[in-house]
Structure 1
Amino acid sequence: MAKRVKKSKQTSILSYWTIRYFLILCVGFLIIAAAAVYWVRDTAMDNRLKTAGLLGQEVADRVTSDNGTIVIPQRLDGIIQNRLKFFNLDEYMCIMIANEKGQFLFSMPNLPQDKLSKKLTPDLAEPTDKRYMAVNTPIFNEQGVKIGQVTLLQSKKSLTYSPNEIILVVVLLSTLIISGWLTIYWLSRKLSRPIQLVADAAKQIRAGNYDVNLDIDTREQEITELVQSFEEMAQRLKQLEEWRALSLAGVTHELKTPVTSIKGLVMAVREEVVTQDEAKEFLDIALKESDRMERMIADLLDYNAFTSGSVEIQSDRLHLQLLISEIAYQWKITHEAYPVDMILDLPEEPLYTMGDSLRIQQIFVNLLNNGLQAVDKSIPIQFRIRMYAEQQYVHVEVTDNGTGVALEDQSHIFERFYRGDCKKRSVRGLGLGLTYSQLLARAQGGELRLRQSSSAGSTFALQLPR
């Protein structure tokens, strides 16, 4: 039991690419944002600590007197407030000044001694609360002796958190994400529109409407080539569909004619509406019609076999003079009913080719049969086969003395199912003999062409690799 393959849910190119690109964009920028925030926090903490150190040094310089003692200026609170605003520091920072004995001489905000002593360790080096960070600046007299220190306490959160910087990072990343998404959305929409139009046109062709017009104006070379190729394909399919319908009608008509003729002749004999001699003549005609129908079916089968790739072409080293002589001899024997004058103009120097002797024989038999059909049987029938070498090719020309091919038909004689008006009236066939012969020649690396044609006869030239 065959396993059913579950089809995945289908979505449009626009949705598929924009959603996935947006998700990838968000993930990428979130990683960048995390790194940026970490860097901003680290940089902000370092800068604020340095700024706090500068403020502490200024305070230490201002409280040092000329006699080497610590003197608190009266307007120190106002000076610190101005410096906090100037340096953009947290105004709730706790600033403490202690002497060398550990006694607190000043604090901002103003706190009692017992509360101040609880904020720092006994050596005044570290804050007792781990949520805070201390910046200590020693106070020295003129002799370089430490007489106290300035301590700035600030929460770690305020050191690392900067609303303006965070907002800037969020705005920048949001702008990049939206810009990237809009870009891929616009590009996907621009790409999906012509593809959607081509898909809609393909549905019309599937429904049997080949008159599609893709009104797409784009600068992309690949999309332009796709649209042009699709329109050309649609026109080609339309031509092939018309040709198929005409060819089917033509083949049906050509096969129906001999069948109808045979049926009428056989019924006349069976009903005994003709004499014994006429019955024999009717049966002979029926046999000839059967032969014609058999040849038409054989041409059709050969052509279909070749186009489907089921005909194998051998590549053997062939002596062309011997092969052509043998083909001409065999064909003449099978057509002894006609007085045919076969002239062979072959070079003495042996000429070789790589090809399939059976397929080459089919080509020449088709050419000779066509020439025989074109000859007026009231005059002597003559064929001339001429062979010569030219550069890397061997040319074999088959010339008959028939009525020739009409000028308006010469460019179409190798087309499938094409038969000129004169041939339609005189010979029953499907018009595949020359088409099949040309395909066989090309399959062997050669070519089959009509060299010239007039009322005095026609010359077909077969070119094979030397």
Structure 2
Amino acid sequence: MKSTSILSYWTYRYLLILCVGLVLVATAAAVWVRQTTMDSRMRMTGLLAQEIAERVSSEGSSPVIPESLDALIEKRKRFFNLSDELCVTITGNGGVLLYADRAMSPGELRSRLTEDLSESADDDYVTVSSPVVNKAGATIGHVTLLQSKKALTFIPNENRLLAVLLTGLAALGWLTIYLLSRKLSRPIRQVAEAARQVSQGRYDVRLEGEWREREIGELVGSFKHMAARLKQLEDWRALMLAGLTHELKTPVTSVKGLIHAVRERVVDGQEADEFLDIALKETGRLQSMVSDLLDYNALASGFVKVRRDELNATALVAEIVHQWNVMQDGEETAAVPELPEANVPVAGDALRIQQIVVNLLNNAKDARVPGRPLRIAVGLRREAGGVEVVVSDNGQGIPEEERGLVFERFFRGERKRDKVRGLGLGLTFSRMLACAMDGDLRLVSSSAEGTVFALRLPAGGR
């Protein structure tokens, strides 16, 4: 199917609809004007017939034709704007023709009037008749005016005015829709061209102009935001791909070098054992990163199922915090549970909740400020329709420009990138798990005094 521009599409169709509408209006107007004109001229013709009947009235039994009648008829024709084809006849009693003006020959009169010359015998002509009454009140004859219907409805000036008016309306309507369509199509063309550039991988699009129409402004603004967002995501993708490659390559290279040193007897004895221990740790980190990738891919593909059991959030969170504290191997790091004594029912998957909370605790640990005792608090609070597990710390916080990006996949802040090896999937995976349990994970606040995350879960017991 051949496509056409929105300007041509709407302009041509509007013009077609406008012309059809104006033709219908013009037809109805022409019929109305013709009928109105005919009625008006018939009334004027009747008045002329009465005036002539009064002029030819006499005291006798037959009308008297004055010598000035021809001049009077010509004068009235011009005054009433009647056609020169108007024929005036005066008959006496018995249908005797006493007078006929020069508009028609006697033969034409006989062919267009009845035998008594009082009615039209031709459907294309009409007659107006007025009796001639003498002073005694007796009818002594008739004045008959014969005129064609075409002449009665012929109004050249009005027809020209109507044609000019309708043509002007058509031109004005077409110009209006043309200008409006062009104004509407211009931003659409710009957005289409910008979309074409984006599809080719060029995200630095420019959409110039100020749009007063709210919908057009929202369209252009949303596209600009989308293009900027795509450019940002593309930059992140390239950056994170490089980071991901580096994070995976580093332990592989390290393990290879350590094992090669042991195999080639570069080191031996206790030093060789230390090299192997380091290689095992690096292998464990590599395994953890690969596991994170697999878990993220499985959850994103919908292959990971979560349970929705009725759980006691107080006991569950207390157990998670206790196990995490035990795993710290005596480090000066401990999470403090700030939990209510009463049971708080929630609906969710205990294993997935533990994954999320442990990830938040690990992140809090990594945010430690040198020289400042780390304090991590884990609390519970009821919210409308749900329960929130709140993890707060007094770490270094998240820079303001990074706070909106912490849940993006493969994103790692500048501070964490230099200290901790990873893929940047922890918070992304945690939020996906929370959403899978009909909950959410959000960053409540962050500053130089610390950071607060909240895991929202559906309330249980419903």
Corresponding residue SS for 1:361: helix
Give the structure 2 partner of residue 431 of structure 1: 424
Say if 1:351 and 1:65 are closer, same or farther in 2 by CA, change over 3 A.
same
Aligned mates of 1:310, 1:44 — CA distance in 2:
84
Give the structure 2 partner of residue 254 of structure 1: 247
Aligned mates of 1:280, 1:171 — CA distance in 2:
104
Aligned mates of 2:68, 2:50 — CA distance in 1:
17
Say if 1:458 and 1:28 are closer, same or farther in 2 by CA, change over 3 A.
closer
Structure 1: unaligned runs, 5 residues or longer: 1-7
- Is the deviation greater in 31-40 or in 279-288? 279-288
- Is the deviation greater in 74-83 or in 317-326? 317-326
Say if 1:122 and 1:218 are closer, same or farther in 2 by CA, change over 3 A.
same
Give the structure 2 partner of residue 117 of structure 1: 110
Count of residues in correspondence between the two structures: 450
**Is the Cα–Cα contact under 8 Å of residues 373 and 427 in structure 1 kept in the other structure?**
yes
**Is the Cα–Cα contact under 8 Å of residues 314 and 380 in structure 2 kept in the other structure?**
no
Give the structure 2 partner of residue 168 of structure 1: 161
Structure 2: unaligned runs, 5 residues or longer: none
User: Which residue of 271, 286, 295 corresponds with 1:293?
Assistant: 286
How far off is 1:19 after superposition? Answer: 0.2
Q: How does 1:34-433 map to 2 (within 5 A)?
A: 34-109=27-102, 116-275=109-268, 279-304=272-297, 314-328=307-321, 331=324, 335=327, 344-370=337-363, 386-389=378-381, 392=384, 394=387, 396=389, 405-406=395-396, 409=399, 412=402, 414=406, 416=408, 417-419=410-412, 423-433=416-426
Aligned mates of 1:239, 1:17 — CA distance in 2:
38
Aligned mates of 2:310, 2:225 — CA distance in 1:
42
Say if 1:220 and 1:130 are closer, same or farther in 2 by CA, change over 3 A.
same
Aligned mates of 1:73, 1:412 — CA distance in 2:
112
Give the structure 2 partner of residue 25 of structure 1: 18
How far off is 1:14 after superposition? Answer: 0.7
**Is the Cα–Cα contact under 8 Å of residues 19 and 170 in structure 2 kept in the other structure?**
yes
State the AA in 2 paired with 1:222.
E
**Is the Cα–Cα contact under 8 Å of residues 135 and 151 in structure 1 kept in the other structure?**
yes
Aligned mates of 1:17, 1:111 — CA distance in 2:
56
Aligned mates of 2:104, 2:401 — CA distance in 1:
113
Say if 1:119 and 1:262 are closer, same or farther in 2 by CA, change over 3 A.
same
State the AA in 1 paired with 2:144.
T
Give the structure 2 partner of residue 3 of structure 1: none
Give the structure 2 partner of residue 4 of structure 1: none
Aligned mates of 2:131, 2:451 — CA distance in 1:
119
Aligned mates of 1:229, 1:211 — CA distance in 2:
15
Aligned mates of 1:185, 1:375 — CA distance in 2:
66
How far off is 1:433 after superposition? Answer: 1.8
Query: What is the aligned-residue RMSD (CA, Å)?
Result: 3.5
TM-score (norm: length of structure 1): 0.84
Say if 1:68 and 1:315 are closer, same or farther in 2 by CA, change over 3 A.
farther
**Is the Cα–Cα contact under 8 Å of residues 439 and 455 in structure 2 kept in the other structure?**
no
- Is the deviation greater in 352-361 or in 143-152? 352-361
Identity rate, percent: 51
Aligned mates of 2:328, 2:214 — CA distance in 1:
64
TM-score (norm: length of structure 2): 0.84
**Is the Cα–Cα contact under 8 Å of residues 258 and 279 in structure 2 kept in the other structure?**
yes
Corresponding residue SS for 2:310: strand
State the AA in 1 paired with 2:350.
S
How far off is 1:16 after superposition? Answer: 0.5
Aligned mates of 1:461, 1:15 — CA distance in 2:
55
**Is the Cα–Cα contact under 8 Å of residues 390 and 455 in structure 2 kept in the other structure?**
yes
